[in-house]
Structure 1
C-alpha cells in the first residue's frame, strides 16, 4: 500500500508523493517567452497518469495556466471513470488567451474566480474540485480576502472541497487560517531551496504543504551536467529571470557543484537521485506532499519509487544539512 498522509485541514488522506501537471500542459507563453517544457505526447501523459493511479498515487495537481487549459483536459481524460480514486488539485488566477496559448495577466476577483472555476470543472469533466488554489503568490491583503470570500462560497456550493494558495509568504498564508475551508499551501521546496517558515506554519495549523519544484526543475534527477543546453522552447532555456538554477538553458556551475557534493547522500540506500531528493522532502516534515512533474511512465515510476525507499534517515539528513551549512558559510 502506497504511503498516505492526512491531507491538511480536510478529512482526506493523500499519497505522500503526488504528480504535478505543468509539463504535460505542453506549449504556452508568459511575458512572450515559452513557459512550457517542450513537446508532449498526450497519450503518453494519460498512460503515465493512469499508471500512477494503478500504483496507488491519488494526488494530482494542475492549473488552468498550464497549456492554457491543456493540462486540465489531459488530467480529466486520464481520470475518466476513476474520478473517485483521485484528489484533484488545480489553480487559477493567471488570465489567458487559450487560442494563442498565452498567459496575459492576473485576476483573482470574485467574478473571475466564479468563471475560472466553471471552466476548470468543464475541462476536467468533474462536478467538484477537491483543492482549488490561488496561483499568483503575491496579492494585497484586500485581494487575498476578496478571493478567500469567493472561495468559501464555492466550497459552500459544493463546487470545491477546500482551497489553498501557491505562495512562499508564510505570514500572508497565516492570515487565511480564519477561513474554514483553507486547507493547504503550495510552496517551493527542495533540498536546494528550503522553506522553514511555511513548514512551521503547516505544522502549527495542520495545513498540507504541496511542494512545487521538488526536483529543482529536473536538476535533482541527476541527468544534467555542464554540457547540458536546453532550447528556448523549454521554460528552463527561455530566459525567465525567476529560473534560478539555469542560465541560457545551462545549469549554473554553482548548482552543479552543490549537486556533486550531495549526490552520494541522496543516492544512499539504493535510491536514484530523484528518489533521494524526494526522500529529503518526506523526511523534512510530515505535512509535505512533493508533486514532481513528469512526461513519461518511467519518470512516474522512478518518483513514486521514493515511497518504497521511505524518507531519508536522520543521519543522512544531518549530513546534508552540514554540507549545505558549510556551503552557505563559504558563500
Structure 2
C-alpha cells in the first residue's frame, strides 16, 4: 500500500507556493496578490522546479481569482502524474473583476469549489484539498468532514487539510484522510504549539511564509518600497513583516541579526531559513513562493545543504531571545 499523500518522510522535503504567480487580485481596494506577473516566466519557473526534483505545488482557487490554478495546470500539462497538487477553498471570488466577494464554508459549497478548481487545473483530482478560512468553528469543521471523506471515496481528492494558525482547531476536521495543516512558521516567528500538534498526530506541517513574505532575503532593505498592487504594499492587519509598503524595522533588525548563522556553511540566507524549518521536525514541508526560475533554483538549492544543526538552532534561539526548551526541534 502506498503511503498517504503528505505523510512525513523523515527526509527534507520542499514544495513551491503558487500565490505570487496568480498575479493581482483584490478585496475592495485592498490588494491581495503580489503584483503583475509574466505567465511565460511563471510557466518556465514551474517546469524548472520539476527539473530540479520539486514535485509539490501549493496553490488556492482565490490566488489571482483562479489565475494561479490555470497557470499551474497548463505548466504541468503532460506531467501531472509526476507531481502532488495542493489547493484550497473557502473564499468566493469573481474571476472577471478579480475581486474576493465573500466566504463560503458550508458543506454544499465544497463540491462546487472543487469542480471549478479541477477545471482550472486540468486534472481529475487534487492530492491535498485545504480549507482556506483560518477561523471556522469546530462545529462547522466537523460538518465539513463528511463531504470531504465522500470526495476521497469518489476520487476527487486524495486527502484534505486546513490552513490555519490556531492549533486548537485542526482536530475538529481530522477525519481518516486528514493529513496536513498549513500554517505560518519561519525562523523569525516560530510555531511550537502547531509543530508539536502535527508531530504528535503524524500530520504534515505545510510551512506557509517560510521566508517571512520575502523578508528572509537580502533583496529587502530599509529603503525598499513595494508597489500598490502588492499585498505587502498596502498590507492587511495580519501581515506583520511590512508596514506602509516598507519592511518593518523591527523584523528587518531581527532578520539581520540571524543572517550570519543562516548564511553559514555555503548557504544563502534563503537556504538557511529553509534549513531551519527542516531542523524543526521531519513533518515540516516549506512552500516558499516564486516568480522566476532563478528563485526556484535558489530554493531548491537548500536541499543539498539539508537541515541546520542543533547547535545552530540554539544559537538562533539565543540571538532572538527565545527559550530553547520551547523552541527547539519538535521531534
Fold equivalence (TM over 0.5): yes
- Asked whether 1:272 is paired with 2:268, we answer yes
Distance across 1 between alignment mates of 2:121 and 2:198: 28
- The aligned residue for residue 117 of structure 2 is 120
For residue 284 of structure 2, the aligned residue among 264, 282, 288 is 288
Is the Cα–Cα contact under 8 Å of residues 125 and 156 in structure 2 kept in the other structure? yes
Distance across 2 between alignment mates of 1:252 and 1:222: 14
- Asked whether 1:138 is paired with 2:108, we answer no
Distance across 1 between alignment mates of 2:154 and 2:308: 42
- Asked whether 1:205 is paired with 2:201, we answer yes
Task: Quote how far apart the aligned CAs of 1:32 are.
Answer: 2.6
Distance across 1 between alignment mates of 2:189 and 2:101: 28
Q: 1:326 to 1:16 in 2, by over 3 A?
A: closer
Is the Cα–Cα contact under 8 Å of residues 5 and 158 in structure 2 kept in the other structure? no
Task: Quote how far apart the aligned CAs of 1:302 are.
Answer: 0.2
- The aligned residue for residue 322 of structure 1 is 318
CA RMSD of aligned residues (A): 1.8
Flag structure 2 segments of 5+ consecutive residues without an equivalent.
Answer: 324-331
Is the Cα–Cα contact under 8 Å of residues 6 and 13 in structure 1 kept in the other structure? no
In the superposition, the TM-score normalised over structure 2's length comes to 0.93
For residue 24 of structure 1, the aligned residue among 2, 21, 26 is 21
Q: Deviations over 1:232-286 (max 9, x none)?
A: 1111011321111111111111111111110100100011110011111111111
- The aligned residue for residue 167 of structure 1 is 164
Q: 1:185 to 1:192 in 2, by over 3 A?
A: same
Task: Quote how far apart the aligned CAs of 1:317 are.
Answer: 1.0
- The aligned residue for residue 222 of structure 2 is 226
Flag structure 1 segments of 5+ consecutive residues without an equivalent.
Answer: none
Q: Deviations over 1:176-233 (max 9, x none)?
A: 33x1011100010101111111111111111011011100000001211111111211
Is the Cα–Cα contact under 8 Å of residues 159 and 177 in structure 2 kept in the other structure? yes
Partner secondary structure for residue 170 of structure 1: coil
Q: 1:244 to 1:293 in 2, by over 3 A?
A: same
The structure richer in helix per residue is 1
